[in-house]
Amino acid sequence: DIQMTQSPSTLSASVGDRVTITCRASQSISSWLAWYQQKAGKAPKLLIYEASSLESGVPSRFSGSVSGTEFTLTISSLQPDDSATYYCQQCNSYPLTFGGGTKVEIK
Partner 1 sequence: EVQLVESGGGLVQPGGSLRLSCAGSGFTFSDHYVDWVRQAPGKGLEWVGRTRKKTNSYTTEYVASVKGRFTISRDDSKNSLYLQMNSLKTEDTAVYYCARAGGRYSAFDIWGQGTMVTVSS
Site string (59-78) toward partner 1, x via CB under 8 A: --------------------
State the nearest-atom distance from the C-beta of 85 to partner 1, in Å.
8
For strands 10-13 and 102-106, give the pairing: parallel
State the nearest-atom distance from the C-beta of 10 to partner 1, in Å.
13
Residues 71 and 83: beta-carbon distance below 8 Å = no
Quote the DSSP letter at residue 28. -
Residue 96 found at the interface with partner 1 (CB under 8 A) = yes
Applying CB under 8 A, the residues found at the interface with partner 1 are 1, 32, 34, 36, 38, 43-46, 49-50, 55, 87, 89, 91-92, 94-101
